[in-house]
Structure 1
Amino acid sequence: MGTMKEIRHPIRMSSFGKRDMRAQFAALPWRRRNGKIEVLLVTTRDTGRWVIPKGWPMNGKTPAEVAATEAFEEAGVIGVPADQCLGIFTYTKILEDGELPVVAVVYPVEVTRLLSDWDEKPCRKRKWVALKKAAKTVSDIELAELLSDPALQKRLI
């Protein structure tokens, strides 16, 4: 494990109370290809931004199991989730009735199979990219920082 990083992007909760913060569990689908690590990114349904699969807690499932379920639903991933968190990032989820601050906890999911047809295929794209390119492709600043962390690749192997 590395050392603690200074928080560079504080959570903005000026119009929210402490209890308004929500948690999601995110999957970082990954594979080894030609000796290098690649991660699978998906687009959001609404804006088409590149992100990683994530979703709300599910009754009876561990956070890593939720992450694997989201990877299956959003990207057609069948894989093996690990229980060790890779990191967190925060973002603001835009809802019909306003905004909601969210902290996303990221779990690795080693991809064993990728389906050619999956639930959300009609509304999402997916692509494999190297970690460095993934960090440049995603729009969430904190997720980009997590993906560009030099220790991340070692933690996936």
Structure 2
Amino acid sequence: MRELLKHWSPAVETPDALRQAGALPYSIVDGRMAFLLITSRRSGKWIFPKGAIEPGYTAWDSAATEAAEEAGVVGTIAQDVIGSYRASTGGEGATLVNVDLYPLLVTEQLDTWREKGQRLRHWATLTEAKRLLADRSLARLAVKFHTLYSGK
């Protein structure tokens, strides 16, 4: 039962206003996948870039924009979501939102970007990413993508 509950997540319909888009930035180096993690501004915990879906933008384009602003990376964003997770926004009295995560193959890492002084960024293998990511749901999505990509 404990194992079942560990992976259980209630299916809740979330209004569009409470949906966000995130990027799962990755690169392949010497045949191995690496993920780019960033720290959240509020807590300093390791996460993937995410934010509001901007009016007039697709969710995946918003995710790519967040990756550029928060992590200083650009690349090729997938249009298919790898999965979703729940996150809170704001400080006290936070609101829960669903975040759809889109894989982003990083082709360029910028030296300067919008939130450079506000966050740290770190490339990690899957093993290290699973250990560092604050939210177990993010770790599960990284594992899912790694498995789909590598076919293992």
Q: TM-score, normalised by structure 1?
A: 0.82
Q: TM-score, normalised by structure 2?
A: 0.85
CA distance in structure 2 between the aligned counterparts of 1:27 and 1:89, rounded to whole angstroms: 12
Aligned match for 2:57, one of 58, 61, 64: 61
Pairwise CA distance, 1:53: 0.2
CA distance in structure 2 between the aligned counterparts of 1:104 and 1:71, rounded to whole angstroms: 14
The letter for the 2-side match of 1:76 is G
Structure 1 residues 22-37: aligned runs within 5 Å: 22-37=18-33
Q: String of CA shifts for 1:59-115, please: whole Å, max 9, x gaps.
A: 11111111100000001111111101111111233434x121111100011111100
Structure with more of its chain in helix, by fraction? 2
Helix, strand or coil at the partner of 2:44: coil
* Deviates further, 24-33 or 85-94: 85-94
Identity, in percent, stands at 35
Q: String of CA shifts for 1:9-45, please: whole Å, max 9, x gaps.
A: 435x9xxxx7598111000111111110111000011
Match of 1:8 in 2: 7
The letter for the 2-side match of 1:103 is N
Match of 1:100 in 2: 95
Helix, strand or coil at the partner of 2:94: strand
CA distance in structure 2 between the aligned counterparts of 1:95 and 1:20, rounded to whole angstroms: 21
Aligned match for 2:113, one of 87, 97, 118: 118
Structure 2 stretches lacking a partner, 5+ long: none
Q: Which runs of 4+ in 1 moved over 3 A?
A: 18-21, 152-155
CA RMSD of aligned residues (A): 2.7
Helix, strand or coil at the partner of 1:95: coil
CA distance in structure 2 between the aligned counterparts of 1:56 and 1:25, rounded to whole angstroms: 6
CA distance in structure 1 between the aligned counterparts of 2:81 and 2:20, rounded to whole angstroms: 12
CA distance in structure 1 between the aligned counterparts of 2:16 and 2:78, rounded to whole angstroms: 28
Match of 2:43 in 1: 47
Could you say if the C-alpha distance between residues 100 and 38 of structure 1 is closer, same or farther in structure 2, counting changes exceeding 3 Å?
A: same
CA distance in structure 2 between the aligned counterparts of 1:6 and 1:66, rounded to whole angstroms: 32
Pairwise CA distance, 1:144: 1.5
Could you say if the C-alpha distance between residues 102 and 112 of structure 1 is closer, same or farther in structure 2, counting changes exceeding 3 Å?
A: same
